[in-house]
Amino acid sequence: MTKKNSQKVFGLALLLGLFSTLGPFTIDMYLPAFPEIVKQFDTTPSLVQLSLTACLLGLGIGQLVMGSLSDAHGRRIPLLISMAAYLAASLACAFSPNIGLLIAFRFIQGFAASAGIVISRAIARDLYSGHELTKFFSLLLLVGNLGPLVAPVSGSGVLSFTNWKGVFIALALLGIYLTVMTKFGLKETLPADRRSSSNFVQQLQNYGSLLRDRQFVGYMLAQGIMIAGVFAYVSGTPFIYQDIYGVSPTGFALLFGSNGISLIIGSQLVGRMSHRVSEQTFLLVGLLLALLASVVVLVVAFLHGPLFALVIPLFIFVASIGITSTAAFPLAMESQSHMAGSAAALLGVIPFLLGAVVSPLVGIAGEDTAVPLGVIILLTSVAAMLSYFLLGKKKSTLITNVTSV
């Protein structure tokens, strides 16, 4: 690949990665404000966590809608409309008078943000396949994974000079920027002759066809269940770090944001080594790392061990997500070029739906224990591995031959 082409590819990955960061920013940026929101509305931590659950549901359900729309009407128009809706929903969150309306507007905000996630990935499949898709997807994640690194730190920075409402105003500004980028910086990648029918029944049939594909479902569940474990981590650590271990909001933002580094390490390892080691092998390695790390987290939680003993295995657990996500996506998408939007939607919706289920469970035993978090990520690790071995694993050998340079 020439230097000019490399720059062009990285530029496209940067642009699509910015749309991918909309999800992490929408989820993570207000996390340091959880305790403040509890006091502001005189409510409970569980209800504030429900606002996260509503956002995750919106992100999940929205991807199903946006994936189908982008297959039928192209990538740009659905994305442009969604970015404008995201701007409006962010402002509505900022001026919510009670926790009930905040929860409702968070669902709408997540629904609108879903377009950035699913359509950016569909565009990647429009343009690439095979190992090239793996490499490009790792570049996309290189940018997208900066979201979990930057978002909580940004949220903490906003909270240092204003209240939690300022976080949502900042997200509204991000919505303005992405609307402009969609209008002027993104070309259509799905020609009219490759678009699917806009008939609702046909769109449902497309999803049915994907769900009957055994290997696709295996990769989808392996990736989705693993990411659901991360959502449990996202929901639980604001209270675990700040209430149990006494970490300041700034300290929490730094600890939480550092896991963006682990995501980057995991995804870039797969992207750089995909021509030497198969995606199947990387997926298995990621699943094994997650299982081991989650066992350590559970033990530390039971013993109420020191903070560093909890942070390190969580760092490894999140790194395993970078590995499994980067490896599972191209494996699942390889044979789905004819309905890339719908396939990307299913790959995106499962993590958010499962995350919406497990997130409130982290606080089920109260604010004084991290045991539920350990139990949940262990169960998700086991379930993801079972999904891989029972459905996704190919009968061929896992390790490819080392290629000559």
What does the pLDDT read at residue 201? Answer: 78
**210, part of any domain:** yes
pLDDT band at 166; cut points 50, 70, 90: very high
pLDDT at 2: 57
* Exposed/middle/buried for residue 10 (C-beta within 10 Å: 0-12, 13-18, 19+): middle
Q: How far apart are CA 96 and CA 106, in angstroms?
A: 10
What's the pLDDT score for residue 171?
94
Mean pLDDT across the chain:
84
216-239 pLDDT, tens digit per residue, is 899 999 988 998 888 888 778 888
Q: What is the mean pLDDT of residues 36-54?
A: 87
24: in domain: yes
Q: What is the DSSP letter of 401?
A: P
pLDDT beyond 70 at 399: no
pLDDT reading at 398 higher than 60:
no
**CATH value at residue 28:** 1.20.1250.20
Q: Categorize the per-residue pLDDT at 203 as very low, low, confident or very high, splitting at 50, 70 and 90.
A: confident
Instruction: Tell whether 369 is covered by a domain.
Output: yes
Higher pLDDT, 333 or 400: 333
The number of domains in the chain is 1
289: number of CA atoms within 13 Å, CB side?
Answer: 21
pLDDT of residue 133: 83
What DSSP character marks residue 96? -
Give per-residue pLDDT as tens, 69-98: 888 888 899 999 999 999 999 999 999 999
Residue 398 lies in a domain: no
Residue 57 pLDDT: 85
Cα angle 21, 26, 30 (rounded to 5 degrees) comes to: 125
Residue 290 pLDDT > 90, yes or no? yes
Host domain of residue 53: 13-187+200-392
pLDDT of residue 402: 40
Q: Are 253 and 156 in contact (CB under 8 A)?
A: yes
Within a domain: 399: no
Assess whether pLDDT exceeds 90 at residue 263.
Answer: no
- Residue 364 has phi, psi (to 5 degrees) of -65, -30
Q: How far apart are CA 66 and CA 117, in angstroms?
A: 10
Residue 5: its pLDDT value, please?
65
pLDDT per residue as tens digits for the range 238-253: 888 888 888 887 888 7
- Could you give the C-alpha distances from 291 to 243, 279, 377, 399, in angstroms and in order? 26, 19, 8, 21
pLDDT the model gives residue 314: 92
User: What's the mean pLDDT in 310-316?
Assistant: 92
Note whether residue 264 is domain-resident: yes
Query: What's the pLDDT score for residue 291?
Result: 95
Full-model pTM: 0.71
Q: Bigger pLDDT: 192 or 364?
A: 192
Q: How confident is the model at residue 296 (pLDDT cuts 50, 70, 90)?
A: very high
- Give the pLDDT of residue 330: 85
Tell me how far apart the alpha carbons of residues 73 and 56 are, in angstroms, rounded to a whole number: 25
155 domain-assigned: yes
Is the residue at 359 inside a domain?
yes
Q: What is the DSSP string of 326-377?
A: HHHHHHHHTT-GGGHHHHHHHHHHHHHHHHHHHGGGGGTT-TT--HHHHHHH
Between 400 and 59, the more confident residue is 59
